[in-house]
Structure 1
């Protein structure tokens, strides 16, 4: 496997760019995100089309792509932040300027629909990204602990450790053991959506997954089954499971979301660490995780430890 491209850490005075590759943000939320990062000594710029709207998308495909590629190509921009997720990043993921990303690696921050971009950047040029909060920022959703985790992930080279929360329902899917490999993944629906498109090889990986309720338990069953049958899990070394909010009251034929996850994941024959407080649930402590650096899941310690996503 090619060596990962680890971008430089951010420093005081660096320029960063907010773009909207998926759905539109709110001006108030982006203003708060700008205030937050400016407080870290960064110089925030807003993409030209960041507040456009076409239906549920943040503007036309070509405009969202143009903003993102402009940020990738600009040597003065040292990090790129997605304002929000939603829908639409899958439309443009294969058209990023991967040559520019290889020449000048810089972190892309976001999660949910931004998973498509992280997967494509890793598959095409092994660029390390950061799955973390959006800069369409609301303090009640992502509080001071989330902000500090994001700052440290961008501006220090400290490893990141996330501890299992026994109160998280997915803690019950844990399969004992420890394993190491490069961390990859994100939102399960979006990972499945890139099968045969931009999904990279997961041979040697620790897969991180989280999801939010859509069509029901069958949704998660179909996602995991397709990934298994397509061979996408071949060579997988371990799984780290985050939050699956919205399924708390869902029971079908006596099964809950935990039964579905346990039924599918235990068949992989690898350690599974559940109960990580990462995902779409309201969480003022939402951590930021590098994608593409070496990670270790240790079920005895209840930890996922990930090497820094910047150097």
Structure 2
């Protein structure tokens, strides 16, 4: 502990009170916190202009004092700065990059351009409850060679199938972990930063998208990338995606229709996504999924 954490806002803006809550929370966990004033910039729905958000990230990677980079929040905008980052500087200054949702764009781009591992983890504004903190610590603070993730169903979700844990297609496979938010990954298709899913265990999550939109984005990923050649797919909680104005197909049925025919193991409902009790998943570390016990396991240390 006592590591220096740099805060960045590569996507949407943060209110000053939320920033201070984040600082207080991270200091309470034993970290020192550093940020540039630009972290509070606003430019419409973005946290400042693209060049300024990119500069903020490059400043943190270049700063020898900074041990880890925490994205304060998601939203939208990370994809707009990918071409403005200096990946050679990033490659030679490896840091822990932390966040999820829109931060998927940074995880995918940095891994593709540098091979560096980053972390689909709580954001700065996220709730570090005991479940989330335990996973974060076991993956990052006290990493192990083997770590099987715990599962905890969200409170007061009984009867809500979005929070069920179940197998779509059974199997047990190993592979490198890669993935993130479906809509962000979909937006990266055709760019220089499009992820390579071949032989990977791909983890996916989504929030507040109607079922037909999830269907459309996932179908596009399956059709336009090599997602069909992945080793297996692990789905988190697709929170508030079971909403339709049109004739109803449930999110469960849509996912079954698209993924069951692929011939690979597919698991739904692990503890990640836009939920309170979320695990921390490395992008680029070898893992194993097993539908016999609906589990995901890391097979090597994510931090050396």
**TM-score (norm: length of structure 2):** 0.90
SS of 1:278's equivalent in the other structure is strand
12-21 or 113-122: which moved more?
12-21
1:219 to 186, 204, 213: 213
Structure 2: distance between partners of 1:297 and 1:163: 13
Change (3 A) 1:247 1:235: closer
**Number of corresponding residues:** 294
Map 1:271-286 → 2, pairs under 5 A:
271-281=265-275, 283=276, 285-286=277-278
Map 1:205-284 onto structure 2 (within 5 A). 205-214=200-209, 216-250=210-244, 252-281=246-275, 283=276
What 5-or-longer segments of structure 1 have no aligned partner? 1-11
1:35-50 alignment, distance < 5 Å = 35-50=24-39
Establish whether residue 203 from structure 1 lines up as the match of residue 192 from structure 2: no
Match of 1:293 among 262, 270, 285: 285
SS in 2 for 1:67: helix
Of 121, 126, 131, 2:120 maps to 131
**Aligned with 1:130: secondary structure?**
strand
Residues in 2 aligned to 1:286 and 1:25: alpha-carbon distance in whole angstroms: 21
Q: 2:296 & 2:253 partners in 1: Cα distance?
A: 23
**1: CA distance, partners of 2:2 / 2:272:** 30
CA distance in 2, matches of 1:174, 1:264: 10
- CA change 1:32–1:147 in 2 (3 A) is farther
Shift of 1:37: 2.5
Q: CA–CA distance in 2 between the matches of 1:45 and 1:234?
A: 42
Q: Does 1:305 align with 2:297?
A: yes
Give the drift of 1:178.
0.6
Where in structure 2 are the equivalents of 1:97-136 lying within 5 Å? Answer: 97-136=86-125
Q: Secondary structure at the match of 2:302?
A: coil
Instruction: Output the CA distance in 1 between the equivalents of 2:245 and 2:261.
Output: 22
Query: Aligned partners of 1:31, 1:152: CA distance in 2, in Å?
Result: 26
Q: Select 2:182's aligned residue among 179, 188, 199.
A: 188
Secondary structure of 2:279's partner? coil
> Equivalent residue for 2:62?
73
Answer yes or no: is the 8 Å Cα contact 1:291–1:309 preserved in 2: no
